[in-house]
Amino acid sequence: DTGVSQDPRHKITKRGQNVTFRCDPISEHNRLYWYRQTLGQGPEFLTYFQNEAQLEKSRLLSDRFSAERPKGSFSTLEIQRTEQGDSAMYLCASSGDRNEQFFGPGTRLTVL
């Protein structure tokens, strides 16, 4: 297993378009997290899954954001009607029994 992977690595879109990102966690990890990070800030929690169940969602997450983790494997994060303020690095992490987080390389989103 090569770790957490994310696709795409970069996404440029126009305001108002929908985008979807994918995360493949480490295979034996049951928790999967999504974060957003902007320049000079630490990662900001968005949502997390334990297996296929979405257990927590940040109150900062607008209704335009939705995440899924079908069958408890990979996860997708969709942003509808993107806005310029959505431009950020979107990070995915997974963890197992020790709750040690392992991060993917991130998806850099630019909304024009």
Partner 1 sequence: KQEVTQIPAALSVPEGENLVLNCSFTDSAIYNLQWFRQDPGKGLTSLLLIQSSQREQTSGRLNASLDKSSGRSTLYIAASQPGDSATYLCAVMASGGSYIPTFGRGTSLIVHP
DSSP 59-95: TT--TTEEEE-GGGS-EEEEE-S--GGG-EEEEEEEE
Residue (104 or 111) nearer to partner 1, CB: 104
Nearest approach, Cβ of residue 75 and partner 1 (Å): 15
Binding residues for partner 1 (CB under 8 A):
4, 6, 31, 40-45, 48, 50, 55-56, 89, 91, 93, 95, 98-106, 108
Residue (43 or 75) nearer to partner 1, CB: 43
Nearest approach, Cβ of residue 93 and partner 1 (Å): 8
Residue (80 or 101) nearer to partner 1, CB: 101
Q: Assign 1 to helix, strand or coil.
A: coil
Nearest approach, Cβ of residue 45 and partner 1 (Å): 6
Nearest to 107, CA basis, from 46, 51, 58 = 46
All residues at 6 or more sequence positions from 5 whose CB lies less than 8 Å from its CB, including other chains: 23, 24, 104, 105
